[in-house]
């Protein structure tokens, strides 16, 4: 037994070394000593038979003075409220946020040092672990030890944690499903006495006016439509061109790459590309959008007051140090409004929404404390524990108004810092859970600077309206796990190539790009999904 | 005098002891990981480790060779390296000779320092600089072009223009550093040769062609062999950072391919196959170059 364990460990170390060597990526195995550094959090009085529970936690290197990622207000809270009463010693195993998946891979392969609860945002990683038989089947454990958890997560969310019909993960429940909103320079519209555009056609007229009349006096540098190579920029644009789908079409033709659905094969996708090609060639769109995968350039241009209209994650521009506030310091009379513009053939402002899940919480097969792990998550889902972990202490951290906790901005840093990493500790939820979607959203709104709250509220209701829900199969599509990452790059290539082609070369560019996409896995996914759909209908 | 067995060891054991560190370095970090090559022949399962995974023979290789992207990536790797060899290989040689000809010491030292600096800048930062200089919309060069009423050149988003950008940036980053080896070799030239040439009335160019370059020949050949050996290996950062989606047709190379397939998609078998393929082809290149050079110029490293 000991022998195989050591063998496996050596194997994994060697594997890591090989991969690291091949790929010139370092600092993967170098910190495998980290987990030994974590301290137990209290519970030292527990009698000899205390069981222990190790829980992964993201380390973002932002622990305030006086606390560490493994010992802070929340870890003590967990130990006092859950650990000590149940005679369980709860330990937290830090994993650097930036190399989450790599570090997790190393932990999982080691087999012995792995925490009892691990998690990842990457659905591909979850599927891979499940497929290779590295995870504990949680179905019975959930029924037996997790009634509160089951109720809290709900059937909808739980179904995302199933692989081949078995519950291999508890996906965290997402509190706000809206993804995107669009934003326009209201002051430019007013200057040109133009109405707020409400359809894609009207938007085109507006963009042309922005270009020709340059209301922002940018000296010819105006970018009427700000675009980047991030989904938040092109998704609302593209999905609004997608035709209404039959049930069969949405199951078979949608391609799920990573954790999002892609419209590559859906009817209307080509029209979207054609329109983008037109905007690009008429100079109505960011010229260098293909270089801007992280929206940095887009936000920089928007903050400089060059951009007339753009799409983003719904509340991103409105944070205290966000794009809008920088824009205001640059151009004091600028006004950025959240608007819902892109319209589909039915006149709806169709746009994708998130799957109702956040991180995938998993219990490795090698864990001997699966029961304690489920108990811990169940504890978090019961009574007010989740609320307390997310919000701190009433009267000190927040006051309640209509069921929405308002954070006290005048609290001392020490009190504010109590919950500095609640998002990483309250792992069963993504965002605050206050009972219904409107309240959840309101919790985000009240966290914004006073002046931006109205627009934030608008953006958050835009992102939730006319949404397209992700398509979920009841069985794994292996081709998606295999080709997903590569195809995400191919998908971006399709957008870039077709947008930047000369208009008379659009057709041939489109054909070639789609052919390349299909040959590199798109066809395999289509075939598998078609088969899976037929099997599901039987 | 030849010492026998124990006497020899007793006398020189310290020298052998000194060898322990470097040798163990190679065993631990270079030979040890070769065990991982087994992954290329196994259906690697994370939780069963290398030993526990099932043997699949050459199925991994078959799969790689059936991938349409693999050959594109292979072609790009060879193409970028070949162009690099033509453009970037002679650059340090020219620079070194020019530096060697400089007679004002402080100016020579200053030039050297300025030329070395780019080597110490991380590719991530170079990527940022490249973006600021070569961008279509807001790049420095295109801003100048446009202010003269000329059309912007898509240095980063058109594949052919991108190739030039890639090569120029490579030369800028590495040429200065590359001069070090040549400069070291140049200091070894016997000064009397130059004096004799002066007496014979040889000009500066004559001296470069008849003395400097011939003296550098062994160094040039050695470096050429090393470079040829790297033909199939390509650094990860440069193509990954300077490249972008619009030019992926040229910028996607073996190292970025392995990264995407191996680390991002978790297909370790495929990634290892590609890595092993790279190593074998690289070995063939080195041996081939070495053999040719031995035959043609009587210079070789093994």
Q: pLDDT digit string (tens) for A53-110?
A: 999 999 988 888 888 999 999 999 999 999 999 999 999 999 988 788 878 888 887 7
Burial class (CB in 10 A: 0-12, 13-18, 19+), A504: exposed
| Per-residue pLDDT in tens (0 to 9) along chain B, 302 residues | 566 778 888 888 898 899 999 999 999 998 998 888 999 998 888 788 888 888 998 998 998 998 888 999 999 999 999 999 999 889 999 999 999 888 899 999 999 999 999 999 999 999 999 988 998 888 899 989 988 888 888 899 888 999 999 999 999 998 988 898 899 888 888 888 888 988 988 888 888 888 888 888 888 888 888 787 778 888 888 999 998 888 988 999 998 888 887 777 778 888 899 989 988 888 888 888 888 878 877 777 76
Long-range CB pairs of A504-512 (<8 Å, 24+ gap) are: A506/A273, A506/A274, A506/A277, A510/A270, A510/A273
Give which of B51, B238, B263 to mutate to test A binding, by max A Cβ within 10 Å.
Answer: B263
ipTM of the complex: 0.80
In a shared domain, residues A109 and A255: no
Task: For chain B, give every domain's residue range.
Answer: 58-121+162-297
pLDDT band for A48, please (50, 70, 90 cuts).
low
Calculate helix-pair angle for A523-537, A478-500, nearest 10 degrees.
130
Residue A18 and residue A161 in one domain: yes
B-chain residues within 8 Å CB-CB of A223? Answer: 137
In a domain, A538, yes or no: no
> Cβ–Cβ contacts within 10 Å for residue A498, how many?
24
- CA-CA distance, A367 to A278, in Å (whole number)? 56
| Residue A48 and residue A26 in one domain | yes
CA distance, residue A484 to nearest chain B CA (Å): 8
Tokens of A260: 């999002």
Domain-embedded: residue A449: no
Q: Do A19 and B50 touch (CB under 8 A)?
A: no
Strands A255-257 and A260-262: antiparallel
Residue from the list A22, A105, A496 with its beta carbon closest to the beta carbon of B246: A496
Burial profile A357-389: b = 16 or more Cβ within 10 angstroms, e = fewer: bbbbbbbbbbbebbbbbbbbbbbbbeeebbbbb
Residue of A14, A18, A493 with shortest CB distance to B245: A493
User: How many CB atoms lie under 10 A from the CB of residue A342?
Assistant: 24
Q: A-B interface: how many C-beta pairs under 8 angstroms?
A: 135
Question: Which tops the pLDDT comparison, A493 or B5?
Answer: A493
B137: left (phi over 0), alpha (psi -120 to 50) or beta: alpha
Residue A23 has pLDDT above 50, yes or no: no
Asked if the Cβ–Cβ distance from A15 to B36 is below 8 Å, we say yes
Same domain, A145 and A249: no
Are A299 and A220 in the same domain? yes
CB contact under 8 A, A12 and B136: no
Q: Which residues of A touch B36 (CB under 8 A)?
A: 14-15, 17-19
Domain count, chain A: 2
* Closest B-chain CA to A285: B137
Q: Given this model, what pLDDT does residue A39 score?
A: 37
From B43, which residue of chain A is nearest by alpha-carbon distance?
A: A132
The token pair that represents A347 in the structure block: 């006149």
Show residues of chain A in contact with B145, CB under 8 Å: none
> What is the separation of C-alpha A478 from the centre of its chain, rounded to a whole number of angstroms?
22
A101 shares its domain with A210: no
Tell me if A489 and B259 make a contact (CB, 8 A cut-off): no
**Contact B39/A102, CB-based, under 8 Å?**
no
- pLDDT value, residue B1: 54
Q: Minimal CA–CA distance to A131: which of B171, B298, B47?
A: B47
Q: Given an 8 Å threshold on Cβ–Cβ distance, is A18 in contact with B245?
A: no
pLDDT value of position A461: 93
Contact A18 B275 (CB under 8 A): yes
Does some domain include residue A221? yes
Best to test chain A binding among B45, B46, B237 (most A CBs inside 10 Å)? B46
Closest CA to B52 of B62, B61, B42, B60: B42
Give the closest-approach CA distance of A11 to chain B in angstroms.
6
Same domain, A111 and A206: no
Q: Is residue A520 part of a domain?
A: no
Report whether pLDDT(A450) > 90: no
The percent of residues above 70 in pLDDT, for chain A, comes to 91
Domain of A200 in residue numbering reads as 180-352+469-476
Burial level of A138, CB count in 10 A (0-12/13-18/19+)? buried
DSSP state at residue A267: T
Residue A162: inside a domain: yes
Alpha helices in A159-246 (DSSP H): 186-191, 200-213, 231-239
Q: Which of A27, A227, A291 is best to mutate for the B interface (most B CBs within 10 A)?
A: A291
CB half-sphere exposure, B282, CA atoms < 13 A: 17
Nearest CB partner across the interface for B137, out of A14, A23, A287: A287
Q: A453, A476, A499: which is the final residue of a domain?
A: A476
Q: Do A486 and B260 touch (CB under 8 A)?
A: yes
Question: Which of A429, A448, A476 is the C-terminal boundary of a domain?
Answer: A476
Q: Which CATH superfamily is domain B58-121+162-297 in?
A: MetI-like (1.10.3720.10)
Mutate to test the interface with B, among A9, A16, A19, A226 (most CBs of B within 10 A): A19
- How far apart CA B123 and CA A146 sit, in angstroms, is 49
- Average model confidence (pLDDT) for chain B? 88
Nearest CA in chain B to A9: B49
The C-alpha atoms of residue A353 and residue A488 are separated, in whole angstroms, by 18
Domain boundary among A476, A505, A527: A476
- Give a yes or no: residue A433 inside a domain: no
| Nearest-by-CA chain A residue for B29 | A17
Candidates A18, A105, A108; nearest CB to B36: A18
- Give yes or no for residue A1 having a pLDDT over 60: no
Cβ atoms of residues A69 and A63 within 8 Å: yes
Does the distance separating the beta carbons of A22 and B272 come in below 8 Å? Answer: yes
In this structure, is the dihedral angle defined by the CA atoms of residues A238, A354, A57 and B268, taken in order, positive or negative? negative
Contacts of A124 in chain B (CB under 8 A): 265-266
A11 plus A33 within the same structural domain:
yes
Q: Are strands A162-163 and A223-226 parallel, antiparallel or unpaired?
A: unpaired
The CATH code of the domain that includes A55 is: 3.40.190.10
Give CA–CA dist A99/A92, Å, rounded.
17
Distance CA A317, CA A327 (A): 10
Number of residues that make up chain A: 538
Nearest residue to A232 (alpha-carbon basis) of A279, A183, A278, A280: A183
Same domain, A139 and A19: yes
What is the residue-averaged pLDDT of chain A? 87
Question: Closest Cα to residue A222, out of A304, A290, A278?
Answer: A304
Burial classification of residue A211, based on how many CB atoms lie within 10 Å of its CB (0-12 exposed, 13-18 middle, 19 or more buried)? middle
| Choice between B138 and A517, residue whose per-residue pLDDT is larger | A517
DSSP for residue B117: G
Nearest Cα residue in chain A from B34: A18
Q: CB–CB of A288 and B68 under 8 A?
A: no
Q: Does the pLDDT value for residue A29 go beyond 50?
A: no
B-chain residues near A486 (CB < 8 A):
69, 260-261, 265
Cβ contact B225:B286 at 8 Å: yes
Tokens 């919950």 locate to: A419
Q: Among B49, B136, B275, select the one facing A11 at the smallest CB separation.
A: B49
């Amino acid at each position: 037994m000991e022998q195989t364990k050591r063998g496996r460990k050596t194997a994994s170390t060697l594997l890591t070394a090989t991969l690291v060597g091949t790929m010139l990526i370092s600092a993967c195995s170098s910190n495998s000593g980290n987990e030994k550094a974590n301290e137990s959090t209290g519970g030292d009085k527990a009698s000899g038979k205390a069981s222990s529970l190790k829980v992964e936690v993201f380390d973002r290197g932002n622990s305030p003075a006086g606390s560490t990622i493994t010992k802070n207000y929340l870890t003590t809270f967990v130990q006092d409220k859950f650990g000590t009463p149940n005679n369980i010693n709860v330990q937290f195993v830090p994993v650097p946020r930036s190399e989450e998946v790599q570090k997790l891979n190393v932990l999982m392969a080691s087999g012995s040092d792995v925490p009892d609860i691990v998690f990842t945002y990457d659905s591909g990683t979850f599927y891979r672990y499940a497929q290779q038989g590295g995870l504990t089947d949680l179905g019975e454990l959930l029924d037996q030890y997790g009634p509160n958890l089951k109720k809290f997560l709900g059937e909808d969310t739980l179904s995302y944690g199933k692989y081949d019909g078995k519950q291999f993960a508890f996906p965290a429940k997402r509190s706000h499903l809206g993804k995107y909103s669009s934003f326009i320079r209201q002051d430019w519209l007013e200057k040109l006495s133009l109405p707020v555009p409400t359809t894609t056609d009207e938007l085109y007229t507006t963009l042309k006016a922005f270009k020709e009349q340059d209301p922002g006096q940018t000296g010819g540098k105006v970018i009427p439509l700000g675009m980047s190579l991030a989904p938040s920029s092109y998704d609302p644009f593209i999905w609004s061109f997608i035709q209404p789908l039959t049930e069969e079409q949405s199951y078979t033709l949608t391609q799920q790459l990573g954790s999002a659905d892609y419209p590559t094969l859906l009817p209307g996708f080509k029209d979207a590309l054609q329109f983008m090609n037109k905007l690009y060639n008429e100079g109505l769109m960011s010229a260098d959008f293909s270089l801007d995968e992280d929206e940095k350039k887009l936000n920089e241009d928007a903050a400089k007051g060059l951009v007339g209209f753009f799409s983003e994650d719904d509340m991103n521009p409105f944070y205290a140090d966000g794009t809008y506030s920088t824009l205001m310091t640059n151009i004091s009379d600028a006004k950025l409004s959240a608007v819902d513009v892109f319209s589909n053939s039915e006149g709806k402002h169709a746009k994708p929404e998130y799957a109702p899940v956040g991180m995938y919480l998993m219990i490795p097969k090698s864990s001997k404390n699966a029961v304690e792990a489920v108990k811990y998550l169940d504890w978090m889902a019961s009574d007010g524990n989740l609320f307390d972990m997310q919000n701190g202490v009433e009267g000190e951290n927040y006051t309640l108004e209509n069921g929405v906790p308002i954070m006290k901005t005048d609290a001392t840093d020490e009190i504010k810092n109590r919950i500095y990493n609640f998002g990483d500790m309250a792992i069963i939820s993504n965002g605050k859970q206050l009972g219904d979607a409107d309240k959840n959203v309101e919790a985000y709104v009240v966290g914004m600077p006073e002046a931006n709250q109205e627009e934030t509220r608008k953006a958050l209701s835009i992102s939730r309206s006319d949404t397209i829900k992700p398509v979920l199969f009841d069985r794994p599509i292996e081709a998606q796990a295999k080709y997903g990452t590569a195809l995400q790059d191919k998908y971006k290539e399709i957008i870039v190539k077709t947008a930047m082609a000369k208009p008379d070369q659009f057709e041939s560019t489109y054909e070639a790009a789609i052919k390349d996409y299909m040959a590199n896995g798109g066809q395999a996914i289509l075939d598998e999904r078609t088969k899976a759909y037929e099997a599901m209908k039987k | 005098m030849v010492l026998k067995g124990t006497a020899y060891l007793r006398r020189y054991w310290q020298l052998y002891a000194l060898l322990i560190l470097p040798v163990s370095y190679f065993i631990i970090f270079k030979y040890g990981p070769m065990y991982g090559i087994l992954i290329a022949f196994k259906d690697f399962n994370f939780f069963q480790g290398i030993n526990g995974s099932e043997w699949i023979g050459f199925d991994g290789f078959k799969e790689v060779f059936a991938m349409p992207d693999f050959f594109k990536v292979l072609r790009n790797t060879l193409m970028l390296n070949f162009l690099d060899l033509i453009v970037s290989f002679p650059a340090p040689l020219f620079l070194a000779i020019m530096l060697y000809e400089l007679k004002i010491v402080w100016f020579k030292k200053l030039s050297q320092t300025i030329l070395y600096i780019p080597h110490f800048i991380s590719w991530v930062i170079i990527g940022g600089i490249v973006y600021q200089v070569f961008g279509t919309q807001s790049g420095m060069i295109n801003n100048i072009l446009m202010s003269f009423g000329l059309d912007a050149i898509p240095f980063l988003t058109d594949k052919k223009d991108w190739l030039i950008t890639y090569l120029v940036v490579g030369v800028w980053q590495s040429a200065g550093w590359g001069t070090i080896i040549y400069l070291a070799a140049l200091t070894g030239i016997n000064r009397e040769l130059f004096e004799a040439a002066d007496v014979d009335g040889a000009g500066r160019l004559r001296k470069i062609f008849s003395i400097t370059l011939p003296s550098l020949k062994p160094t040039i050949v050695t470096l050429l062999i090393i470079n040829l050996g790297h033909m199939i290996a390509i650094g990860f950062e440069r193509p990954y950072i300077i490249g972008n989606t619009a030019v992926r047709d040229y910028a996607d190379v073996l190292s970025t391919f392995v990264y995407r397939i191996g680390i991002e998609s978790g297909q370790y078998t495929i990634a290892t196959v590609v890595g092993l393929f790279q190593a074998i082809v690289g070995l063939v290149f080195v041996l081939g170059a070495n053999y040719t050079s031995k035959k043609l110029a009587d210079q070789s490293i093994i």
